[in-house]
Amino acid sequence: MVHAEKYDVVVIGGGVAGLFFSRLIAEKGFTIALVEMKPLSEIGRKVCGDAIDKKYFAKLNLKEPTGSEVENIVKEVRVYSPSERSYLTVKGVGYQLNRKAFGQRLLREAMESGVIVFDKSYLKKAILKKSLVSEVIIYDGNRKNDIALKGRVFVDASGIAGALRTKLPTDWWISEKLNYRETAVAYREIRFLSSNIEDPDVLRIYLSQEKAPGGYWWFFPKGLRKVNVGLGIRGGTDLNPRSIFYKYIASRGFFKGSEIVDSGGGVVPTRRPLRTLVFSNVVAIGDAAFTANPIHGGGIGPSLTSAWAASKAMLNALEVGEISTEKLWLTNKLYIRAYGAKQGSLDFLRIFLQNLSDEDLNYIIEKKVISEDEFLELSITGDLRMSIVEKMLKALKFIRRTSLLLKLRVLADYMRKAKQHYLAYPENPSDLLRWEHKLLKLYREFMERLGIRAGVY
């Protein structure tokens, strides 16, 4: 018999999603255990671009990062064309975080609220009883033994691994499998440079199918002479982002005489959210629920947003003492309203961009086919207004690239349809599969209209 402990909620994973979520639940007096592989002192460390929009903090009522958590405050993002001759600007204040310091703060807040952390520990097995998870078996790295954690609800916040949800029966909707073609695989370094960075408060994203197939490379200053630089490509291929990084990026001037501070690889989901973030007494949040932005992989803010949505629904359910898919369903509604609908629409844009040539990307950015204001609106709302596309078509139809513009019209149409479909997300779980069937039909139609072969998106 293994030692057993009982909690209201058991969370697997102490990244931003798990830590923020646990704190929100513990604050209300419920008992909660959080299981994390890393030792306490390493919690927060993560290979990441470290950028987050300032807006998330006020929205989620989360204290703004200060002191050592902030390495740089940025004022805009520039998205460069493959030729690097032109760029689009998205204005907006954001932080370059020190991920470890930020994570350590979230950890401190969680522990001060009463969260019990099992560090150096990992999930081994989920035990099911009567269509519920009744307990999980973890290896407790401090006791050096397996122990059982019993709970009323179990939360998968284990990042892209989806350590808990992928151990559940395949007919549990939450166990949906990840297609690695819908991820970005990245390599990034943090470096001290030998000379000052021009405009250190500007983040740069470089689009290029040649240098970063299906993704981009980035240059995010952390100060005058420190930078987070990396390259992400579409997953599910044999390509190695580190090799490509060293082929194209390390030969650049800024690399000369620079010193490496940290390096590593990582994977981020770049797709629509999990069809449902809840099933039975299990909830998935953050990367485990595929909440990152499909275009740029920014997932810190969306992970925190999904944690907030899940905490609201769970507190309601715990207070009435009834845990079920129905009672936790509010998680989906809140998340979709706050972020998921935009994410669903941007997934269509992701497919579009991944199938665009460098020549077309150059044309769109250099000719300002889409203006900076329109680009900003698109990045904030996930809406590419049809009126914009119509305007472009009228102005440019007879010049060149009619076929590209016609494809943009299809894109705008399907982004709108996708967003509307997400906003009509079912009120009840019983309508989910019908809803999902229609969503997948939209994907199929979209790809057919753009001539993209099924299975390659």
Ligand X SMILES: Cc1cc2nc3c(=O)[nH]c(=O)nc-3n(C[C@H](O)[C@H](O)[C@H](O)COP(=O)(O)OP(=O)(O)OC[C@H]3O[C@@H](n4cnc5c(N)ncnc54)[C@H](O)[C@@H]3O)c2cc1C
User: Given candidates 286, 294, 344, 382, which one binds ligand X under the rule CB under 6 A?
Assistant: 286
Residue 343 near ligand X by CB under 6 A: no
Binding mask 176-215 for ligand X (x = CB under 6 A): ----------x-x---------------------------
Distance CA 417, CA 382 (A): 12
Residue 123 near ligand X by CB under 6 A: yes
DSSP label at residue 337:
I
155 and 25 in contact (C-beta within 8 Å)? no
Residue 380: enclosing H or E segment and its boundaries? helix 372-381
User: Given candidates 65, 151, 299, 382, which one binds ligand X under the rule CB under 6 A?
Assistant: 299
Closest to ligand X by CB, 18 vs 294, is 18
Closest to ligand X by CB, 123 vs 149, is 123
Residue 94 near ligand X by CB under 6 A: no
Distance CA 333, CA 340 (A): 9
Closest to ligand X by CB, 109 vs 360, is 109
What letters, b where the CB count within 10 A reaches 16 and e where it falls short, cover 224-236?
ebbbbbbbbbbbe
Strand partners, 360: none
Distance CA 26, CA 221 (A): 36
**Helix 432-450 / helix 341-354 crossing angle, nearest 10 deg:** 30
Q: Which of 314, 287, 344 is nearest to 17 (CA)?
A: 287
Residue 102 near ligand X by CB under 6 A: no
Binding mask 220-239 for ligand X (x = CB under 6 A): ----------x---------
User: Given candidates 47, 356, 364, 412, which one binds ligand X under the rule CB under 6 A?
Assistant: 47
Q: Which of 66, 326, 298, 282 is nearest to 165 (CA)?
A: 282
User: Given candidates 7, 24, 25, 49, which one binds ligand X under the rule CB under 6 A?
Assistant: 49
Strand partners, 90: 77
Residue 158 near ligand X by CB under 6 A: yes
Residue 117 near ligand X by CB under 6 A: no
Q: Which of 110, 118, 164 is nearest to 141 (CA)?
A: 118
228 and 188 in contact (C-beta within 8 Å)? yes
Closest CB 446 distance from ligand X, rounded Å? 25
Residue 69 near ligand X by CB under 6 A: no
Residue 314: enclosing H or E segment and its boundaries? helix 300-320
Closest CB 404 distance from ligand X, rounded Å? 29
Question: Which residues in the 8-27 window bind ligand X by CB under 6 A?
Answer: 12-18
Residue 298 near ligand X by CB under 6 A: yes
User: Given candidates 266, 273, 340, 382, which one binds ligand X under the rule CB under 6 A?
Assistant: 266
3 and 139 in contact (C-beta within 8 Å)? no
Closest CB 364 distance from ligand X, rounded Å? 23
Closest to ligand X by CB, 34 vs 361, is 34
Closest to ligand X by CB, 11 vs 389, is 11
| Longest CA span, the chain | 77
Residue 82 near ligand X by CB under 6 A: no
Closest CB 34 distance from ligand X, rounded Å? 9
Cα radius of gyration (the chain): 22
User: Given candidates 35, 284, 353, 450, which one binds ligand X under the rule CB under 6 A?
Assistant: 35
Sole window of 126-134, 272-280, 295-303, 325-333 interacting with ligand X (rule: CB under 6 A): 295-303
Question: Which residues in the 362-391 window bind ligand X by CB under 6 A?
Answer: none
Which residue has 């807040």 as its token pair? Answer: 109
Residue partners of 400: CB distance under 8 A and separation at least 6 = 363
Task: Count interface residues toward ligand X (CB under 6 A).
Answer: 41
Strand partners, 123: 138
Residue 118: enclosing H or E segment and its boundaries? strand 116-118
Residues near ligand X (CB under 6 A): 12-18, 35-38, 46-52, 122-123, 157-159, 161, 163, 186, 188, 230, 266-268, 286-288, 292, 297-301, 303
